[in-house]
């Protein structure tokens, strides 16, 4: 195995539902190596999105440890404010997140969206147009999100993620709203760039074919160590 | 599909539509509440203002026609009139109307007893005027006033202006009747401005109503589309919407009108006291608008504001113009309105100019802010700043109506505040001018006033602080140069030109004007006369005093605050012997010993039992007190309108920001700390409300200028001084920032929620750019 990028140990997350406590993620442990990809599968409500939120610090775990590169986040460690600040810095520079929809600011052109993401990550926004060109939407750079197709929007979202040169990409059903053909194209671009840039990829999906493209597989219906 | 549709339909198909439509409000009860409260408050505010104004206006007209002919009969021997005098005058064939002023023992409120049957003395108009039921104090039937246990009472016998002194029996003479100082048009001017305020309140509340309703309508668009798929025609949906809003309006308008009338009654007591106590304008009970008019007007306003363009959908295509064309058209409207406001020859044109400027500003402001935001965005190097300005443009477009309403409300509050404050200071100066001395003493008809002045002169050196002058009132004829017409002006001849009046503010003056007046070197004239005759300081005015034509140099022009009659102020020693004295009085500030030694001495000098004395301090205190209350209430009403506009913007801003909340969370997902995302939100909200306050400022100043410099002179021939109050601008700026802070604070709570991505684009309603 390559050098570990992400190490998760004993991760748990519970939600209150009325008087009951629902365990969404329970004592989960896994490791993702540098440049590797992991598919998260499981039926709706199995905790895929929650796990992604935990892995990028948008939600904090009840128990367990997450180590990304040289930073370790322990559920029992620092105050929530300090943890939030630490996660913000990580997301800003090293974690790219792609959702099924609404990844772009509607008031900005595709190019300005990429520039904004690159600026937040501390990268040079001047390369933003190149990223759009590499994703075959260079000619659409000055269009707004509502002026392009769903597939083109997802390509722009990927351009934003790659423009920040992330260490880890978290993708939550990134092709869920696309037709088969467009979804295949977006998937191809995603895997291609991920492999070329050597970043880690965690992909939450219902799509077995898409999951098969990943090097590792974690079925949240049967949570266990990977 | 059919099967599932039939399951959707209730057993009574006719209830399907209302149930489907009302389901929106079942899901959004606060929206329904906001709409209802908005209609209720709009109705209350407008009804309150217009009811009060129309009530006061009717009272003003009635009062003027009832007592406009201010001529009274007095006894030559200076004794008070009694019933016997009324009888002997009637027996002599003189048509006199008794006017019995009574101060009841149990309450200090003055009553005026008049005889409606004697109203024919004043012609048909007056009889109509007193045909009103005498159920509103202070006017009561003379029989009632005579039967009241009185602390003080005084009978006046009024005759029409056409009555000549020669028609009176011996021992009687004519003099002017004035129960209190005449305000000229000061009251009417204030009423006109109140009316303008009412129209603006209606406009602002209509805009707010429309914004809340359109928000709901936008959210219901999907439901309407679904209904159309189920076979309900758009016309049917529109019909139900009209019915829905009519029912809601009816439910809210009726209590709104009731509340408005209650508000007017509450304000009316203060206003009525002010008019009655000071201007001699009683506020009759039971006057003003009925119920039907305000209910119908508000129903029409609600339906037009909410559904106007929906009902005129066929014209919408023609009316919807591209943004640059709209902005250009708005700029043209604004420019035309501004020029017209400057040059308008009549009130109607000024009002049209105000409408044009408001329409232009209301149309141009959002477009201008959007363009400015885009310009700033295009010149921003930092992508985050670019995003912020683009978001601002979206916000302004989505919140156009509440923002314009807030702009109008802020402008209106600025103008009303400036106007009311100006009125207050004008009123203070007017009071100071009219009530310059501590006491006002009427010289009884036939009394020897030179003897009184001799006595007062003898006291001048002995009594510390004694100041006084004698005022002789009469008329002079004005012969305009090169014009055969003659015009009567009121003459106020002062002997001596005492220090009591030397504090008057003069609009225009020669060097050392009071000294020149005291030396008999010229005259002073009021603003009306100066404007009408286009006379300035240094010009000579041709006057016929008594039977002597004189060319008198104008030494100064003093403000008259709307008294429509031309006035000339001169030194009494320059009056010719042939001058016909109509009325004489003494203005006295008695100094340390008080007024009692002076009245005692004057009673001896004139040989009368009592002298008619008015305590100006009491009048001033009463007038100031009641007017303060009226001004405070006017301010309160404008602030209520502002609060309404601010609440609407707050509510709309919150709702709209909620639809954009995801994009702020997206920034957090991208690694922007939540604190910084909240700071972006705050900057955006403050830019929005602060920008609107900044744009309201020129509109408010312009409106103030129009009210004091255009409407007042055109309506009444005199202008209020234009004053601006930067401290109040600051207050409004702070208020707008508080609204921005409140929106940001409400939104901050939403940012604090876990950042879960929307499941699909349909979950977002704010994806506009």
- Taking CA B174 as the corner, what is the angle to CA B172 and CA B180, rounded to the nearest 5 degrees? 125
Q: Which chain B residues have a beta carbon less than 8 Å from that of A151?
A: none
Are the beta carbons of B260 and B45 closer than 8 angstroms? yes
pLDDT above 90 for B236 = no
Residue in B with minimal Cα distance to A171: B757
Alpha-carbon distance of B264 to B291, in angstroms, equals 13
Angle at alpha carbon of residue B60, lines to B501 and B354, rounded to 5°? 90
Q: What is the pLDDT of residue B376?
A: 92
Q: Is residue B182 part of a domain?
A: no
Alpha-carbon gap, residue B641 to B207, rounded angstroms: 12
Q: Single out the residue of B499, B445, B459, B326 nearest to residue B397, CA to CA.
A: B326
Residue A152 CA to residue A172 CA, distance in Å, equals: 17
**Residue B43 is assigned to a structural domain of this protein:** yes
Question: How many CA atoms are closer than 13 Å to the CA of B255, on its beta-carbon side?
Answer: 10
Cα angle vertex B347, ends B344, B352, to 5°? 70
Q: Does B764 reach chain A within 8 Å, measured CB to CB?
A: yes
Q: What is the pLDDT of residue A12?
A: 92
For chain A, say whether B394 makes contact (Cβ under 8 Å): yes
A61, A107, A149, best to mutate vs chain B, most B CBs in 10 Å: A107
Test A88 with B668 for CB contact under 8 angstroms. Answer: yes
> Which residue in B660, B667, B670, B767 has the most chain A C-beta atoms within 10 A of its own C-beta, making it the best mutation to test that interface?
B670
**B504, B532: one domain:** yes
* A97/B761 touch (CB, cutoff 8 Å), yes or no: no
Mutation choice for A interface testing from B671, B672, B679 by most A CBs within 10 A: B671
* Residue closest to B186 by CA, chosen among B739, B766, B716, B721: B716
Residues pairing with B571 in the sheet:
B494
Residue ending a domain, choose from B176, B198, B227? B176
pLDDT tens track for B352-405: 999 899 999 998 988 888 888 999 998 988 888 999 999 999 888 888 888 888
pLDDT tens-digit series, residues A102-121: 689 999 999 999 999 999 99
Predicted pLDDT of residue B151: 67
| Residue whose tokens read 């992330």 | A166
- Give the pLDDT of residue B562: 58
pLDDT at B768: 62
pLDDT surpassing 90 at residue B333: yes
Contacts of B482 (CB under 8 A, 6+ apart): none
- What are residue B100's DSSP bridge partners? B113, B155
The shortest C-alpha distance from A108 to chain B (Å) reads: 6
- Compute the distance between CA of residue A30 and CA of residue B468 in angstroms, rounded to an integer: 104
B752: nearest CA partner in chain A: A58
- B133 backbone dihedrals φ, ψ, rounded to 5°: -60, 135
Query: What confidence category does residue B16 fall into, taking pLDDT thresholds of 50, 70 and 90?
Result: confident
Q: Residue A17: what are its φ and ψ, rounded to 5°?
A: -130, 100
- pLDDT over 70 at B200, yes or no: yes
Q: Considering chain B, what is the average pLDDT of its residues?
A: 77
| Residues of chain B found within 8 Å of residue A95, distances taken between Cβ atoms | 671
Residues B534 and B463 in one domain: yes
Same domain, B255 and B128: no
**Structural domain count, chain B:** 4
Which helix (H) or strand (E) is B433 found in, with range? helix B400-434
Residue B255 located in a structural domain = yes
Say whether both B382 and B310 belong to one domain. Answer: no
pLDDT of B287 > 50? The answer is no
Nearest to B703 by CA among B722, B728, B676, B679: B722
Domain identity same for B450 and B567: yes
> For chain B, how are helix, strand and coil distributed in percent, rounded to 5?
60, 15, 25
Whether residue B328 lies inside any domain: the answer is: no
Sheet holding A71-74, edge to edge: A20-33, A4-17, A63-68, A71-74
Percent of chain B predicted with pLDDT > 90: 9
CA–CA gap between residue A126 and residue B406 (Å, rounded): 41
Candidates B697, B682, B678, B695; CA nearest to B740 is B682
Q: Report the half-sphere exposure of B230 (CA within 13 A, side-chain side).
A: 20
Best to test chain A binding among B378, B383, B754 (most A CBs inside 10 Å): B383
Same domain, B445 and B568: yes
3-state secondary structure of B552: strand
Q: Are residues B680 and B548 in the same domain?
A: no
Would you call B670 and A101 a contact, using CB atoms and an 8 Å cutoff?
no
Distance CA B426, CA B438 (A): 20
Give pLDDT, residue B153. Answer: 75
Q: Which residues of A touch B390 (CB under 8 A)?
A: 105, 107-108
Spatial CB neighbours of A20, under 8 Å, sequence gap ≥ 6: none
pLDDT, residue B218, reads 76
Name the pLDDT band for A223 (thresholds 50, 70, 90): low
Whether the predicted pLDDT of B534 surpasses 80: yes
| Nearest CA among A38, A40, A62, A37 for reference residue A49 | A40
Please compute the mean of the pLDDT values over residues B266-273 and round it to a whole number.
60
Report d(CA B164, CA B93) in Å as an integer: 13
The HSE-up count of residue B201 (CA atoms within 13 Å, CB side) is: 31
Is residue B649, in this structure, part of any structural domain at all? yes
- Residue B398 and residue B282 share a domain: no
In chain A, residues with a C-beta closer than 8 Å to the C-beta of B382 are 119
| Antiparallel, parallel or unpaired: β B486-495 and A168-172 | unpaired
Residue at a domain's end among B290, B320, B350: B320
DSSP B277: I
Residue B701 lies in a domain: yes
**B674/A88 CB distance under 8 A:** yes
CB contacts < 8 Å between A and B, how many? 99
- Token pair for B105: 């023992």
Closest residue by Cα to residue B193 from B519, B412, B456, B10: B412
Instruction: Show the beta-strand stretches assigned E in chain A.
Output: 4-17, 20-33, 37-41, 63-68, 71-74, 95-98, 168-172, 200-204, 216-219
Q: Which one of A91, A144, A172 has the shortest CB-CB distance to B671?
A: A91
Range scoring the smallest mean pLDDT among B163-177, B222-236, B263-277: B263-277
B282 and B400 both lie in a single domain = no
Please give the pLDDT value at position B190: 63
> Confidence band (pLDDT; 50, 70, 90) for B487?
confident
Q: What three-state secondary structure class fits B105?
A: coil
Tokens of B20: 């489907």
Per 3-state DSSP, chain A is made up of helix, strand and coil in percentages (nearest 5) of 40, 25, 35
User: Is B414 contained in some domain?
Assistant: yes
Q: Are residues B50 and B111 in the same domain?
A: no
**Those residues with Cβ within 8 angstroms of residue A137's Cβ, 6 or more apart along the chain or in another chain:** A110, A148, A152, A155, A156, A159
Q: B609-649: per-residue pLDDT in tens?
A: 778 787 877 777 766 765 666 666 667 667 777 777 777 77
Please report the pLDDT score of residue B285 as a whole number.
40
- Using CA atoms in the order B483, B486, B487, B492, what is the torsion angle rounded to 10 degrees? 110
Judging contacts by C-beta atoms under 8 Å, the chain A residues touching residue B768 are: 106
Q: Give, in order, the Cα–Cα distances in Å from B350 to each of A187, B199, B360.
A: 67, 14, 15
Distance CA(B566)–CA(B154), nearest Å, equals 31
Domain extent for B610: 433-619
Report pLDDT digits (tens) over B88-135: 888 888 888 888 877 676 665 566 777 767 766 665 444 444 444 343
- When mean pLDDT is compared over A68-77, B193-202, B466-475, the highest value belongs to B466-475
Whether residue B580 sits in one domain with residue B460: yes
Instruction: Give the integer Cα–Cα distance in Å for B91 and B89.
Output: 5
Question: Are B628 and B713 members of one domain?
Answer: yes
Q: Is B745 on the interface with A (CB under 8 A)?
A: no
Lowest mean pLDDT among B153-167, B708-722, B752-766: B752-766
CA distance B685 to B741: 7
Tokens describing residue B411: 């402008």
Taking CB atoms and an 8 Å cutoff, what residues of chain A touch B668? 58, 88
Q: Is residue B124 one of the residues assigned to a domain?
A: yes
Contact list in B for residue A103 (CB cut-off 8 A) is 666
* Those residues with Cβ within 8 angstroms of residue B639's Cβ, 6 or more apart along the chain or in another chain: B413
Cβ contacts of B667 on chain A, cutoff 8 Å: 120
Q: Which residues 23-82 of A are in CB contact (within 8 Å) with B? A: 49, 53, 56, 58-59
Q: What are phi and psi of B467, to 5 degrees?
A: -135, 140
Do residues B528 and B560 lie in contact, with contact meaning Cβ atoms separated by under 8 Å?
yes
SS3 sequence of B551-608: EEEEEEEECCCCCCCCEEEEEHHHCCCCCCCCEEEEEEECCCCCCHHHHHHHHHHHCC
The whole-number average pLDDT for the span B576-590 is 86
Distance CA B388, CA B691 (A): 14
Sheet holding A37-41, edge to edge: A95-98, A168-172, A200-204, A37-41, A216-219
User: Which of B126, B142, B176 finishes a domain?
Assistant: B176
Question: Residue A144: which of B383, B672, B769 has the nearest Cβ?
Answer: B769
């Amino acid at each position: 195995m390559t050098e570990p990028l992400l190490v998760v140990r004993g991760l748990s997350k519970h939600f209150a539902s009325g008087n009951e406590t629902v365990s969404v993620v329970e004592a989960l442990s896994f490791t993702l190596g540098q440049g590797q990809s992991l598919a998260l599968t499981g039926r709706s409500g199995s905790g895929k999105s929650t796990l992604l939120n935990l892995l990028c610090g948008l939600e904090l775990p009840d128990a367990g440890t997450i180590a990304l590169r040289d930073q370790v986040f322990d559920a029992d460690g620092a105050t929530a404010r300090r943890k939030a600040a630490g996660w913000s810095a990580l997301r800003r520079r090293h974690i790219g997140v792609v959702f099924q929809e609404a990844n772009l600011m509607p008031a900005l052109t595709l190019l300005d969206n990429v520039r904004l993401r690159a600026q937040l990550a501390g990268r040079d926004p001047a390369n933003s147009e190149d990223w759009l060109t590499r994703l075959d939407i260079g000619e659409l750079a000055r269009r707004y999100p509502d002026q392009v197709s769903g597939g083109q929007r997802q390509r722009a979202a990927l351009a934003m993620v790659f423009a920040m040169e992330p260490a880890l990409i978290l993708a939550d059903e990134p092709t869920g709203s696309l037709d088969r053909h467009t979804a295949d194209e977006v998937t191809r671009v995603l895997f291609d760039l991920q492999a070329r840039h050597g970043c880690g990829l965690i992909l939450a999906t219902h799509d077995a074919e898409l999951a098969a493209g990943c090097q590792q597989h974690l079925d949240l219906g049967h949570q266990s160590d990977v | 599909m059919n099967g599932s549709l039939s399951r959707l339909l209730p057993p009574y198909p006719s209830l399907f539509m209302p149930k489907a439509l009302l389901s929106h409000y079942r899901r959004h009860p606060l929206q329904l509440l906001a709409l209802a409260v908005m209609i209720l408050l709009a109705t209350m505010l407008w009804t309150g203002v217009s009811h009060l104004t129309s009530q006061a206006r009717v009272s003003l007209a009635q009062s003027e026609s009832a007592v406009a002919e201010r001529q009274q009969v007095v006894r030559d021997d200076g004794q008070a009139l009694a019933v016997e005098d009324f009888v002997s005058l009637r027996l002599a064939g003189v048509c006199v109307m008794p006017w019995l002023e009574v101060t009841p023992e149990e309450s200090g409120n003055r009553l005026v007893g008049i005889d409606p049957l004697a109203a024919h003395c004043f012609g048909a108009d007056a009889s109509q005027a007193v045909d009103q039921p005498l159920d509103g104090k202070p006017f009561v039937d003379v029989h009632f006033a005579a039967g009241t246990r009185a602390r003080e009472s005084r009978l006046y016998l009024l005759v029409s202006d056409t009555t000549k002194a020669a028609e009176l029996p011996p021992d009687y003479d004519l003099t002017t009747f004035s129960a209190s100082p005449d305000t000229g048009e000061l009251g009417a001017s204030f009423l006109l401005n109140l009316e303008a305020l009412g129209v603006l309140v209606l406009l602002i509340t209509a805009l707010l109503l429309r914004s809340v309703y359109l928000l709901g309508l936008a959210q219901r668009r999907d439901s309407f589309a679904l209904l159309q798929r189920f076979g309900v025609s758009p016309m049917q949906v529109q019909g139900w919407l009209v019915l829905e809003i009519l029912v809601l309006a009816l439910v809210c308008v009726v209590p709104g009108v009731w509340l408005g009338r209650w508000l007017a009654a509450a304000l009316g007591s203060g206003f009525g006291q002010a008019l009655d106590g000071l201007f001699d304008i009683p506020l009759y009970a039971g006057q003003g608008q009925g119920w039907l008019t305000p209910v119908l007007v508000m129903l029409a306003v609600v339906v037009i504001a909410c559904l106007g363009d929906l009902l005129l959908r066929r014209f919408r295509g023609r009316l919807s113009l591209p943004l640059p064309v709209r902005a250009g058209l708005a700029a043209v409207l604004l420019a035309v309105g501004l020029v017209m406001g400057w040059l308008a020859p009549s009130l109607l044109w000024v009002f049209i100019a105000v409408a044009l400027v408001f329409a232009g500003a209301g149309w141009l402001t959002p477009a201008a802010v959007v363009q400015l935001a885009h310009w700033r965005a295009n010149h921003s190097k930092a992508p985050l700043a670019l995003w912020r300005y683009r978001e601002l443009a979206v916000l302004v477009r989505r919140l156009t109506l509440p923002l314009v309403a807030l702009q109008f409300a802020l402008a209106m509050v600025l103008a009303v505040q400036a106007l009311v404050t100006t009125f207050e200071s004008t009123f203070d100066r007017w009071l100071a001018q009219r009530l310059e001395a501590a006491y006002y003493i009427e010289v009884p008809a036939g009394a020897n006033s030179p003897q009184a002045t001799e006595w007062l002169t003898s006291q001048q050196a002995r009594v510390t602080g004694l100041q006084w002058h004698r005022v002789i009132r009469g008329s002079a004829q004005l012969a305009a140069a090169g014009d055969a017409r003659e015009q009567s002006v009121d003459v106020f001849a002062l002997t001596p030109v005492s220090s009591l009046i030397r504090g008057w503010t003069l609009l225009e003056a020669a060097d050392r004007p009071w000294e020149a007046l005291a030396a008999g070197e010229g005259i002073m004239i009021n603003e009306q006369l100066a404007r009408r005759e286009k006379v300035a300081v240094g010009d000579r005015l041709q006057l016929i005093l008594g039977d002597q034509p004189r060319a008198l140099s104008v030494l100064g022009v003093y403000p008259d605050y709307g008294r429509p009659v031309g006035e000339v102020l001169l030194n009494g020693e320059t009056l010719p012997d042939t001058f016909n004295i109509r009325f004489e009085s003494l203005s006295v500030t008695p100094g340390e010993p008080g007024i009692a030694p002076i009245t005692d001495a004057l009673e001896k000098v004139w040989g009368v039992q009592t002298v008619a004395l008015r305590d100006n301090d009491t009048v001033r205190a009463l007038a100031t007190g009641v007017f303060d209350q009226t001004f405070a209430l006017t301010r309160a009403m404008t602030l209520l309108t502002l609060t309404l506009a601010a609440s609407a913007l707050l509510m709309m801003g919150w709702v709209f920001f909620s639809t954009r909340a995801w994009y702020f969370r997206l920034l957090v997902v991208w690694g922007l700390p939540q604190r910084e995302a909240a700071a972006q939100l705050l900057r955006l909200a403050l830019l929005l409300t602060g920008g609107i306050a900044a744009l309201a400022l020129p509109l408010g100043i312009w409106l103030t200028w129009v009210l004091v410099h255009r409407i007042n002179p055109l309506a009444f021939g005199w202008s209020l001084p234009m004053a601006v109050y930067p401290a109040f601008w600051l207050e409004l700026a702070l208020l707008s920032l508080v609204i921005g802070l409140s929106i940001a604070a409400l939104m901050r709570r939403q940012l604090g929620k876990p950042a879960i991505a929307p499941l699909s684009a349909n979950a977002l309603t704010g994806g506009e750019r």
